[in-house]
Amino acid sequence: MPITPASATHRSSNGTAEAILLELVDENGTTIGTAEKLAAHQPPGRLHRAFSVFLFDEQGRLLLQQRALGKYHSPGVWSNTCCGHPYPGEAPFAAAARRTFEELGVSPSLMAQAGTVRYHHPDPASGLVEQEYNHLFVGLVQSPLDPDPEEVGATAFVTAGELAERHAKDTFSSWFMTVLDAARPAIRELTQPSAGW
């Protein structure tokens, strides 16, 4: 699979640039077509399939990433471990594992599905809109990170308490709290109650 860059194109097997297509879905998550990535995020937004990954270390701390400044959508903001879009026909689980490796240089351990959430979040800074049917995944990270600087500006492992402090002072993605709250039951099961999630 080609690596999905910060822009909305990728190189095909013959070396030419191709638009990245996303799966459009209905309210039940059934695929109804495709749209070019940037076009799907133009107001009012078109409902499309996405994924969000939450990885934790063995102390129960969440791995956050700060999106690289060069990204066309929500640059420089903090968000969950990894998020993105499956290619048309690609299973969300496979896409989540692929992008986590592409962005952070690690393969998740014990990654499991954590449900889905549907949301509509405009991003005032960019003017783009997130209309997503989002597949959630939780897992562990058990090897050193090797982030791609074109995708990731910084990383941090945080406890639940540290996240609350950071969220009060730093800028986070518009979708972050929605996906975190939706994933909390699976996060608690993975990290145990003592971690405070």
* pLDDT in single tens digits along all 197 residues of the chain: 333 333 344 444 444 457 899 999 999 999 999 999 999 999 999 999 999 999 999 999 999 999 999 887 788 999 999 999 999 999 999 999 999 999 999 999 999 999 999 999 998 878 899 999 999 999 999 999 999 999 999 999 999 999 999 999 999 999 999 999 999 999 999 998 889 99
pLDDT at 17: 54
Per the residue annotation, which of 23, 103, 130, 132 is the catalytic one?
Answer: 132
Active site residue 189: no
Residues 81, 163 contacting (CB under 8 angstroms): no
Active site residue 82: no
CA distance 67 to 76: 5
- The model's pTM is 0.89
Q: Rounded to 5 degrees, what are φ and ψ at 122?
A: -70, 150
Per the residue annotation, which of 23, 83, 103, 151 is the catalytic one?
Answer: 83
**Residue 88's Cα: distance from chain center in Å?**
17
DSSP at 193:
G
Q: Determine the length of the chain.
A: 197
Residues 123, 131 contacting (CB under 8 angstroms): no
